[in-house]
Amino acid sequence: VTVVVATDSDFGVLASAEVPIQLARRAESIAAAAVLGYGEPLFWGLADRGLAYGPALIERVQAAIVEADADLVLAPSPAEVHPDHRVLAMAAAEALRRCGGERRLLLYEVGVPLQPNLLVDITAVWPDKREAMRAFTSQLATRAYDRFVEALNRYRAYTLTAEVEAAEAFFSVSAAQLAATGARSLPALS
């Protein structure tokens, strides 16, 4: 697993100015990675709320996919409210289209529910996810994001079997689908 944190979190707010937000968020991401059991994320340090869709970002995402030899790429949904999430979704889709092969893109929801074509039972790992979310103290100090995520994951279990307590929703699309139909392969943005 290779995780990329694309932006520097410069627009984040800390209750205390003792630690710059960028360093705090980096430490939180590393702590969450330790809980979930993957290596330290890659930090690109791009400007928060400054991601621009274009060749530079697409090529950087494509290079990361190739370097990791990724067959599965996860990115936020293009329907998300945050502008960086939308830009990263589109850049990931184009990068994956260019990479081709048997790769798949899973678009995930953060703050805007998407029309999924894949639900994944996360009941067994739900305690780990909750613990990892608690690592993001700077974000939890401003909003109860953990409660929102829990509500969404519990809602996503609604159509699954009774023993499923939590699920994550994705929109799955293949590199071949992206090559054939481009952005029309992605979920509607409205």
Distance CA 117, CA 98 (A): 23
* Sign of the alpha-carbon dihedral angle for 156, 158, 159, 162: positive
Distance CA 40, CA 155 (A): 30
Query: Using alpha carbons only, how large is the chain's radius of gyration in Å?
Result: 17
Per-residue confidence (pLDDT) for residue 28, from 0 to 100 = 96
Distance CA 123, CA 133 (A): 15
With 0-12 / 13-18 / 19 or more C-beta atoms within 10 angstroms meaning exposed / middle / buried, residue 22 is middle
Per-residue confidence (pLDDT) for residue 16, from 0 to 100 = 57
Q: What is the pTM of this model?
A: 0.93
Instruction: Tell me the angle at which helices 83-99 and 55-68 cross, rounded to the nearest 10 degrees.
Output: 60
One digit per residue, pLDDT tens: the chain, 190 residues?
A: 999 999 987 766 554 567 788 899 999 999 999 999 999 999 999 999 999 999 999 999 999 999 999 999 999 999 999 999 999 999 999 999 999 999 999 999 998 999 999 999 999 999 999 999 999 999 999 999 999 999 999 999 999 999 999 999 999 999 999 999 988 899 866 4
Could you give the 3-state DSSP secondary structure of residue 123? helix
How far CA 46 is from CA of 7, 88, 96, 152, in Å, comes to 4, 12, 20, 29
Q: What tens digit of pLDDT does each residue of 116-149 get?
A: 999 999 999 999 999 999 999 999 999 999 999 9
